[in-house]
A = this chain, B = another copy of it.
Amino acid sequence: MVPSRFAYTRTPPEAEGFREEVRSFIAAEIGAISILDRADSWMGFDAAFSRKLGAAGLIGIAMPKRYGGRGAGAFARYVVSEELLAAGAPVSAHWIADRQSAPLLLRYGTEAQRERYIPGINQGTTYFCIGMSEPNSGSDLASIGTRAVRSGDGWVLNGRKIWTTNAHRSHFMIALVRTEGKSDDRHGGMSQFIIDLKAPGVTVRPITDLTGQEHFNEIFFDDVALDADALVGVEGNGWKQVMAELAFERSGPERFLSSHTLLGTTIDAVGPAPDALQAFHIGRLTAKLFGLRAMSLAVTAELDAGGDPAWAASCVKDIGTGLEQELPEVAQLLTDEEPRIGPGSDQAQVLAYLTQMAPSFSLRGGTREILRGILARGLDLR
């Protein structure tokens, strides 16, 4: 028996109500976004866009109204998210704060923390990043060494994080760090903290990626003073809290729509009368996308019902990564367009960009090895 049946899930009518709202917003704004920025989409940082989106009430869809949210459900949030991604809207500035930080604070944070951070997140003006990997940890998160030591009421933080998306453009980081010495439990003794990235002792060094852009960062903490209320949730409970986020992180539409712009440009580059090879591949990918979206909606329903669909979310993520990484490979087979940096057709530009970005799709949110290991364990392989 598999851990999830991915039961058919229809988005409820109240969630569908948000679709027209977000489509209208997109229709008004997307014209100003270049095709290459649309290809970036959820990797694309555009504070002005996020602010407008927040002002339009389209961030914090599932957050309570008292924190400036819309108070709608998980499906409404899903609908808004997928519409933004499918359109290639540049959502990266607020994305992690909206997807992960606000829900984390809502679940584990103090009332003061919620009141302090969530309204700004929902306005599209406060941006968060997530500090997980370290230079020598790689996929082995249990081996992290960044450490917060008690000092008076608060803590002093030392260490460093790497591969943190958007740290150089975010206000805060929520980091997983060690608060005790080595415990028997490889995953014990870790806690989550909110770190103000402008605090003394924090140094953010952007890492240039192979396209020449800066998405990732290395962050150094030298005796960074943290107040008592920097702690999120329970001391020593960090690993468990992080694991609970993972299903949200791994099952969303960004796991299969981040190279979606290329599907659109490829369809247009092929034109209305595809040959058999073109029709086959476009149809095949479309079919997969349709099925994967059904799976992703099923996970959303499980999450919404309070379940812990970690296995199902990893399944969505791994299939999604496969689909996203396959797309540029297939697209380059379907037309004679050579990929181009700089001047070129939409297809040539988007193909060049996403071909280069594709390797990163299996870096974020767990490598394929990690995910398949999770799937195997969930199937009781031993």
Contacts and interface: CB of A to CB of B under 8 A. Distances in A.
Interface stretch (A140-148, A252-260, A273-281): A273-281
A196 to B, nearest CB: 44
Interface string A223-257: 00000000000000000000000000000000000
Contacts of A277: 275-277, 280
Contacts of A333: 280
Interface residues on A, range: under 10
Contacts of A280: 277, 333
A276 B275 CA distance: 6
A369 to B, nearest CB: 15
Nearest to A334: B276
Interface in A275-296: 275-278, 280
A149 to B, nearest CB: 38
A275 B276 CA distance: 6
A371 B333 CA distance: 30
Nearest to A280: B277
9 contacts: A275-B275, A275-B276, A275-B277, A276-B276, A276-B277, A276-B278, A277-B277, A277-B280, A280-B333
Given A275-B277, A277-B277, 7 more contacts: A275-B275, A275-B276, A276-B276, A276-B277, A276-B278, A277-B280, A280-B333
